Amino acid sequence: QPDICSYPGRYLPFAAATDVFRVELYPFRNAEPEPHGLAQLVRDIKYAQADLVRSGAKNRSIVAIPQAFSGWGLWKRFPTRQEIRAQSYLSAIHGCRGVTYYSYWSFTKGANPFMATPEQKERTFSVTREMASIHDDLASRDAKDQPSVTFLEGPEEDLCGNPSVTCLLKEGADGKGKLLLAANARNDKAVKVRIGVKGRVETLFEDGRAVDASDGLVDTFAPEAVHVYRLK
């Protein structure tokens, strides 16, 4: 039951009728990058989740549909790989239990699915391959105790009023250690934070970049940046 939840109450009348709600999250409409793009994605997820709570429905899930396409007369460009990656991980961080990507084919309406060009197909598949490589960790339970985020430099809020850098700690799978996802929803400002975890930490998908976790995990997030950490 895909639909855009761009205001409170959009999903509310249908929440009890859906086991899994696939929410459209399509923030990149203009030819130039929009400053509110990722912030709007987070906001819309929260609207759908709030409607689910208000409905009183239980044991329902929300699955994200991040934008990877262009067209339909509204979306003027393909999202970049960095935008697709940030949308996908922010969706996971904010409680979505899966991600899917539409393959809109509409020649009359000028819709361009992510398979329309080899370049966009590879941008999207590079993100799905990355997430698939940690699938069992992503599918593990959320850790009971979630770490705090202390802001050291840069804006503390995104452009919709939610925290600019957010994270999610997963229990992890197969004894590899817990998995920590963290992302910056600002596309205009870098943010430096301290995340409340300690011990041995390694970065994934960053060629072994070292981070300091002696007094909490201190790291800097470039605009739209995602960091994935393994806690040992």
Rounded Cα distance, 64 and 86, in Å: 12
Confidence band for 166, pLDDT divided at 50, 70 and 90: very high
Q: Which residues are paired to 203 by β-bridges?
A: 229
Task: List alpha helices for 15-151, DSSP H.
Answer: 37-55, 81-93, 118-133, 135-138
Strands (E), the chain: 3-4, 20-25, 61-66, 149-153, 165-170, 178-184, 191-195, 201-204, 217-221, 226-231
Q: What is the mean pLDDT of residues 146-172?
A: 98
SS3 label, residue 7: coil
How far from the centroid of its chain's Cα atoms is residue 106's Cα?
Answer: 27
- Please check whether residue 176 is in contact with residue 136, taking contact to mean a CB–CB distance below 8 angstroms: no
How far from the centroid of its chain's Cα atoms is residue 186's Cα?
Answer: 12
Inform me whether the pLDDT recorded for 173 exceeds 80: yes
Model confidence pLDDT, tens digit, residues 6-50: 899 999 999 989 899 999 999 999 998 889 999 999 999 999 999
